[in-house]
Amino acid sequence: MTGALVAVLLPLSAVEAATVPAAVTATQFTPGNIISDALFYDGAAMTAAQVQSFLNEKGSGCVAGNAPCLKNYVVTTPSMAADSYCKAYAGATNESAASIVAKVGQACGVSQKVLLVLLQKETSLVTKSAPTTGNYDRATGYGCPDTGPGGTANCNTNYYGFFNQLRLAARQYKVYRANATRYAYQAGRVNQVQYNPNTACGTASVFIENQATAGLYIYTPYVPNAAALAAYPGTGDSCSSYGNRNFFMTYGAWFGDPRGLVTGALVRAAGTAPVYLIDGTGKRYVPDVGMLEELTTALGNVTEVPDSVLGGYATLPAVQRLVHNPATDELLWLSQGRLNWFGSMPVVYAWAGTSATWIDVDPAVLARFPRGPGIPSVTSGVVSVGRVDGGWGSWALPGETIGTTGQSKPLQAISVNYVGSPGSSLTCTAAVSGSGWAGAVKQSATCGTTTIQHLEAVQLRLAGPDASTKSVVYRAYVTGRGWTGWAANGATAGAPGLTVEAVQVQVATKPQITGAAQVGASVTVTPGAVPAGTTVGYQWLAGGAAISGATSPTYVVAPTVVGKALTVEVTMTPPGGQPFLVTSDATGAVAPGVLSAPTPTIGGTARVGSSLSVTTGSWTTGAQLSYQWSAGSTPIPGATATTYTPTAADLGKTITFAVSGTLAGYTSVQRVSAPTPAVAQGVLTAPLPVTSGPAMVGLVQLATPGTWTVGTALTYQWLSAGVPIAGATGASYSPVAADVGKALSVRVTGTQAGYATVSQVSAATTTVVPASATPPPGSLKGFTPGQSTRLAGPTRYETAIEVSQRFSPGVPVVYVATGADFPDGLAAAAAAAVRGGPLLLSMPTSLPGAVRAEIERLAPKQIVVVGGPSVLSDDVAAALGMIAPTIRVSGADRYATALAVSAAFTRASEAFVATGEDFPDALAASAAAGAADAPVFLVESSAQVAPGALVSRLRELGVTTVRLAGSPAVVSRGVEDSLRSQGMTVHRYGGADRYATAAAIATLFPQGTSTAFFATGADYPDALAAAALAGRLRSPVLTSVQQCIPASGSDVLAALSINTRVVLGSEPVLSDAVLRGQRCAG
């Protein structure tokens, strides 16, 4: 997401610069810290009243043009539900811009100040003298990437509108924050940021310090170059960009430094005299003018800030000269604007008094001061002297040079004196020219020769108590070669046959390794006392070999060093001196790590169908965990997730859960939970069924079973005065004369392996009455059990009317689709079935008279026209509107129309999805969907993922189960997998051809279903009209060839015990052989 052109490529002067002098200058622009997180994500920075006051002030010169000024702008805003990034937003009528800014900031946790600056940066709306509607449409530049010609903004009109722009931009910044690692610009690392959309202008290496700054770069991905900053508020060069420069400067002009107060700043409250040093999160009073002058030399001039800002910092002790650096444990003396270091506490007391106290100061503040010289004195360590040209030189302090370098003056001898704890001393061994190695001498004695010979090499050893905690390190300057590497604790500096001109000696505290030498553990080296100003470097070694990248004081032991001993080389570089190396003692061999492996615990009830879940606890980071559920002592195939639902096979067995952890360098571990009680029989969810329809001979009674446990097989038995009715075992029943005077009810029985069988009986109907010439409004005429019926007319329109004749007048709705093509009507049949009305067909531009007459007979409360005016003309809609209130439901294409038709549903636990490129699968699915109170949606056969609009609608409806109609060739595996990834259960019903697919869908109907509808598989109109009636009667629609019923359909008739067939269309469409139920040969 990038900002609009005005934010990226134009200078501030071109977008109406703020008239208030900036609180920051362009030279203060820090590309890695444009604004602090604290200021950016402060959703309570301004109230609506404060925003309004601000807009009134900044927009005082605005004169409304073709759009109102921002200070007067109002718009009706929608209510927005909360999501992962923003809280809910309560919409309002005629809501002011100030209210929108305040509420969006509060909802999304983004500062109202930031939003105001963003509006100014992108479109100058805050100060614009004559706003346009375009300014409001693209208010924040959201959805306006710089992909147009010449890097211009290429805005997406879907995101237009002031409220959209403001909320989407604020939400986007929260998206950046919540998913920081998904974007190219990330805080805490060096990022390559372009100067300009023109890649030829190059990039800058920017270490982004915080997420707020990272978000600005993701939104406007350019950094101003030097020309842009130098030219503020004007134009730089052809490679300049201005968006982030203008954000920084505008925020500074309106609200002060967007980075907040930087540690080390010198500040005073506006209109007051006292000056304070910002030290981390606190402030220190500067007590006198002299101290202030020294501070400003290093820290810069005093800045005035609001008293409220300064009041937010804790008061710390006043600034003084003796300070302590907590990061390096140094005591430093502030003088002449420099920091001078001490070598020892006695020197500190000599300078500051024996009762001296000091203050801890933020290392970032101290780093801004130059370093002064060390304050000389030696109270411990080594003092050395060398003999050159027959004479002894001056004493050298630790690390100083004994002798000369580059003058070809050989060093004859050295004398080394060590000052340390009682009983500790140095010995020295020298190799002398012409004599070889001499014996070791004690400290202060001459080590070498007093003759014309010279030193060739030296070895120094520390003895006594200090030898366990300290090392003597030394090196030699050799004629023609320069300085040797550092040697330590008896190693040789130089070599026999060489000429040593000088020696340097140090005594350093031996680094100490603490922590367990075990994979996964942290080991830490402490270098001991480090002279002030000394730079310290680290290198960890395993088995004597350097560990790549292990250059910090702490090392987390890696799996690759198992069995090897660890040491650390610590390199110290004193101020102005040469680096020297000190090596720690070795640890023992690194042991394999021990995984943190808690015992898992199982939650839930051990019962068939009841989900069990497990808490694995916190294992070692990086451990690869695998899971296995077991029933008794036997692992359950495929049960390798952290949840498991016991099945019938688990009855009477205990359940355990094993978690196994592996990690390179660690000992593998398995932990097993305590067993559950023996798995008990499941309890089916079994609601009372409900019957609907008038209790009248010949009219349909429908059974609605309610929502049972998933996987439950349901059977039906209709009862007359409590006595089972022979053969009445479907989801619908049409009373006969024998039922007159008796009340009907239905018994629904659910069975599932592992569960107790449950039967539920509905409430009784009123007593059945004889058939009437004027049936109750909206009732449905059934079919005589055991008989076959043909519904047909001379055209598709009359056939649909024949189907519609089964509905009594007074229906709640009639759906009307075009008879000229199938796409728009595919989803309408299920909606019509669920709402209790028929689906009729019309010609595209005129309403057939017979159809008009049928609709008038039906006397519907509403008519729904399916498809846009290009499908069914406005003339058709107008003609229908003369009969009953009429609405049009349509979309941009067949897929969008299906989504629009689904508005007939408010909630649905399941939905059907079929291809929109052919009709048979969708029409067979429509009857099943109507019977299940489920919508039908369409997808393209080529789609490899479920469209976002479809997924969103499924979620809105609360769908948990999706049924795919057709093979993967028509509804892809990709769509199937993407729906499963949304947490939905997906079932597929497909066969080798359209007839087998319809048969597979028919298996969704319960055993005992009495009636099935047959339509030709070669054309759509008859099945389109029949699907609404079939769905209403809880009956399947099967497709057939002309001469006989395909084997797949015939098998379903037998499996469901269907004895009543309804054939759609005249004999040329489906023969009497189909009416008789004749199975195709072969």
Per-residue b or e along 212-241, where b marks 16 or more CB atoms closer than 10 Å to that residue's CB:
bbbbbbbbbbbbbbeebbebbbebbeebbb
- pLDDT value for 354: 57
Would you say 268 and 274 are in contact if contact means Cβ atoms under 8 Å apart? yes
Would you say 925 and 965 are in contact if contact means Cβ atoms under 8 Å apart? yes
> What tokens does 548 get?
């790549």
Does 848 score more than 90 pLDDT? Answer: yes
Same domain, yes or no, for 385 and 423?
A: yes
Would you say 552 and 537 are in contact if contact means Cβ atoms under 8 Å apart? no
Q: Domain boundary residue among 460, 493, 508?
A: 508
683 is a domain residue = no
97 is a domain residue = yes
Same domain, yes or no, for 312 and 395?
A: no
pLDDT (tens digit, 9 = 90+) per residue, 790-837? 999 999 999 999 999 999 999 999 999 998 888 788 889 999 989 989
pLDDT (tens digit, 9 = 90+) per residue, 151-161? 677 899 999 99
- pLDDT value for 553: 92
780 is a domain residue = no
Q: Domain boundary residue among 366, 391, 417?
A: 366
Does 299 score more than 80 pLDDT? Answer: yes
| Residue 709: Cβ within 10 Å count | 16
Query: CA angle, 601 as apex, 598 and 605 as ends, to 5°?
Result: 175
Q: What are phi and psi of 1052, to 5 degrees?
A: -65, -40
Mean pLDDT of the chain: 87
pLDDT (tens digit, 9 = 90+) per residue, 208-227? 988 999 999 999 999 999 99
- pLDDT value for 604: 94
For the segment 292-305, the average pLDDT, to the nearest whole number, is 79
Q: Is 930 helix (H, G, I), strand (E, B) or coil?
A: helix
- pLDDT value for 900: 92
Single-letter code of the amino acid located at 67: A
Give the single-character DSSP code of 600: P
Count the domains in the chain: 7
Single-letter code of the amino acid located at 844: P
Q: What is the torsional sign of CA 848, 849, 851, 856? A: positive
Which distant-in-sequence residues (6+ apart) come within 8 Å of 983 by Cβ?
Answer: none
CA distance 677 to 663: 33
The better pLDDT of the pair 390, 196 is held by 196
- pLDDT value for 523: 94
248 is a domain residue = yes
- pLDDT value for 732: 83
- pLDDT value for 1082: 72
Same domain, yes or no, for 134 and 209?
A: yes
Q: Is 379 helix (H, G, I), strand (E, B) or coil?
A: coil
Same domain, yes or no, for 234 and 361?
A: no
How remote is the C-alpha of 724 from its chain's centroid? 58
How remote is the C-alpha of 867 from its chain's centroid? 39
113 is a domain residue = yes
Same domain, yes or no, for 19 and 130?
A: yes
784 is a domain residue = no
At residue 50 the predicted structure's pLDDT band, cuts being 50, 70 and 90, is very high
Single-letter code of the amino acid located at 768: V
pLDDT (tens digit, 9 = 90+) per residue, 419-430? 667 677 788 899
Q: What are phi and psi of 961, to 5 degrees?
A: -125, 130
pLDDT (tens digit, 9 = 90+) per residue, 750-793? 999 999 999 999 999 999 998 876 778 778 888 888 889 999 99
Give the closest residue to 927 by CA, choosing from 732, 1074, 694: 732
768 is a domain residue = no
What DSSP letter does each residue of 322-334 carry, written as one string?
A: EEEETTTTEEEEE
Domain span at residue 605?
595-632+645-672
For the segment 1008-1025, the average pLDDT, to the nearest whole number, is 88
Give the closest residue to 644 by CA, choosing from 611, 671, 617: 611
Give the single-character DSSP code of 437: E
Length of the chain: 1082
Same domain, yes or no, for 473 and 437?
A: yes
pLDDT (tens digit, 9 = 90+) per residue, 512-521? 899 999 998 9
373 is a domain residue = no
- Lowest average pLDDT, out of 119-128, 680-689, 823-832, goes to 823-832
Same domain, yes or no, for 27 and 104?
A: yes
Same domain, yes or no, for 1021 and 878?
A: yes
Secondary-structure breakdown of the chain: helix, strand, coil percentages, each rounded to the nearest 5: 25, 30, 45
- pLDDT value for 781: 87
Map tokens 């939970």 to a residue: 673
> What tokens does 1077 get?
């139920």
For the segment 317-335, the average pLDDT, to the nearest whole number, is 84
Label each residue of 715-773 as H, E or C.
EEEEEECCEECCCCCCCEECCCHHHECCEEEEEEEEECCCECCEEEECCCCCEEECCCC
Does 381 score more than 60 pLDDT? Answer: no
pLDDT (tens digit, 9 = 90+) per residue, 443-492? 656 788 867 788 999 999 988 888 888 888 888 999 999 888 888 888 89
Which distant-in-sequence residues (6+ apart) come within 8 Å of 5 by Cβ?
Answer: 144, 146, 148, 151, 152, 153
- Lowest average pLDDT, out of 51-55, 502-506, 1076-1080, goes to 502-506
- Lowest average pLDDT, out of 80-94, 454-468, 939-953, goes to 454-468
Q: What is the CATH number of the domain that holds 747?
A: 2.60.40.2700
Name the packing angle between helices 112-123 and 162-178 (round to 10°): 120
The fraction of the chain above a pLDDT of 70, given in percent, is: 91
- pLDDT value for 390: 61
CA distance 842 to 798: 10
CA distance 522 to 516: 7
Give the single-character DSSP code of 607: B
How remote is the C-alpha of 586 from its chain's centroid? 45
What DSSP letter does each residue of 686-725 carry, written as one string?
A: -PPPEEES--BTTBPEEEE---PPTT-EEEEEEEETTEEP
Q: Cα dist. 468→421, 461, 464, 584 in Å? A: 12, 12, 8, 10
Give the single-character DSSP code of 910: E
- pLDDT value for 823: 78
Would you say 840 and 804 are in contact if contact means Cβ atoms under 8 Å apart? yes
Q: Domain boundary residue among 508, 527, 548?
A: 508
For the segment 363-384, the average pLDDT, to the nearest whole number, is 64
- pLDDT value for 15: 32
Per-residue b or e along 419-434, where b marks 16 or more CB atoms closer than 10 Å to that residue's CB:
ebeeebbbbbbbbbbe
Name the packing angle between helices 48-58 and 97-108 (round to 10°): 130
Same domain, yes or no, for 123 and 91?
A: yes
- pLDDT value for 745: 95
- pLDDT value for 19: 31
Map tokens 């069988």 to a residue: 757
Same domain, yes or no, for 706 and 820?
A: no
| Residue 753: Cβ within 10 Å count | 12
pLDDT (tens digit, 9 = 90+) per residue, 523-540? 999 887 676 778 889 999
Does 21 score more than 50 pLDDT? Answer: no
Single-letter code of the amino acid located at 507: V
Q: Cα dist. 430→323, 405, 440, 445 in Å? A: 44, 19, 8, 12
Same domain, yes or no, for 386 and 245?
A: no
Query: CA angle, 639 as apex, 638 and 645 as ends, to 5°?
Result: 125
- pLDDT value for 338: 67
For the segment 1059-1072, the average pLDDT, to the nearest whole number, is 92
Q: Is 352 helix (H, G, I), strand (E, B) or coil?
A: helix
Same domain, yes or no, for 403 and 478?
A: yes
pTM exceeding the 0.85 threshold for the entire prediction = no
- pLDDT value for 1: 38
For the segment 974-983, the average pLDDT, to the nearest whole number, is 95
The better pLDDT of the pair 438, 162 is held by 162
CA distance 781 to 222: 71
pLDDT (tens digit, 9 = 90+) per residue, 548-595? 999 999 999 999 999 999 999 888 887 766 677 788 889 999 999 899
pLDDT (tens digit, 9 = 90+) per residue, 868-909? 999 999 999 999 999 999 999 999 999 999 999 999 999 999
